[in-house]
Amino acid sequence: MSQRHERGTIFVTAATPSTTESTADNSRTRWRVVDIVTASVLGVALGLVFILWNTAGSPLRDALGALVPGLSALLAGIWLLPAVIGALIIRKPGAALYTELLAATVSVLIVPNEWGWWTIEAGLVQGLGAELVFALFFYRRWGIVPALLAGAGAGLAMAVNDLIVWYASALTPTFAVVYTVSSVVTGIVLAGLLGWLLVRAIARTGALSRFASGREHSELV
């Protein structure tokens, strides 16, 4: 509500619906300092998880790949977690991309891996895959369905990117199908479902009280 004066008369005007809607839209899209800090902490922490998974998961990936070529992608969902978790907590445009890209960058900067600087390119593509799904929901839905679909989107983006960058020279239709299906499945399960469960678990601790994702949980319990 605001006041304006004209020749000694005070007019009191209420905020219009369009003003209210504009303010609400800004709060949904504008990043606060706490958003940037939290997304950055998530990106760095999950980048460290990447480093552990790069080494610990290698024998398992090799075993699955030997069993069925392309099946190793079933364990790649851990690398997609930052995109889903970052978006579910921050709930702002760009959160999925920023968190995933930062995690990938941190992981290769601290401990160089076999994929080198392509790790950053992969993080960019995977983050965009999840970001696109949340954008399709207009950044208004953050339940389990968008989380699963975002994981699937990140997995599909990963599969397309990997098949082009790493496997194009010896690609077969069977390998492409197995790798793509495995990537989407792991995106749904390890990134979408696990990410959604982790965010709920973090919210229960009260650590997300400054976020809508945390306040929603406290209202339900």
Residue 26: per-residue pLDDT:
72
Residue 11: per-residue pLDDT:
47
Rounded-to-integer distance, Cα 32 and Cα 40, Å = 12
What's the whole-model pTM score? Answer: 0.86
| Percent of the chain at pLDDT exceeding 70 | 86
Residue 220: per-residue pLDDT:
52
Alpha-carbon distances of 21 from 11, 68, 138, rounded to whole Å: 23, 53, 15
Q: Which residues of the chain have pLDDT under 50?
A: 1-3, 5-6, 8-11, 221
The Cβ of residue 60 has, within 10 Å, a number of other Cβ atoms equal to: 13
Rounded-to-integer distance, Cα 130 and Cα 72, Å = 21
> Secondary structure of the chain in the HEC alphabet?
CEEEEECCEEEEECCCHHHHHHHHHHHHHCCCHHHHHHHHHHHHHHHHHHHHHHHHCHHHHHHHHHHCCCHHHHHHHHHHHHHHHHHHHHCCCCHHHHHHHHHHHHHHHHCCCCCCCHHHHHHHHHHHHHHHHHHHCCCCCCCHHHHHHHHHHHHHHHHHHHHHHCCHHHCCHHHHHHHHHHHHHHHHHHHHHHHHHHHHHHHHCCCCCCCHHHHHHHHHC
Residue 213: per-residue pLDDT:
86
The 10s digit of each residue's pLDDT in 61-117 is 999 999 999 999 999 999 999 999 999 999 999 999 999 999 999 999 999 999 999
Residue 15: per-residue pLDDT:
56
Residue 28: per-residue pLDDT:
78
Residue 2: per-residue pLDDT:
46
Rounded-to-integer distance, Cα 101 and Cα 82, Å = 9
Residue 29: per-residue pLDDT:
87
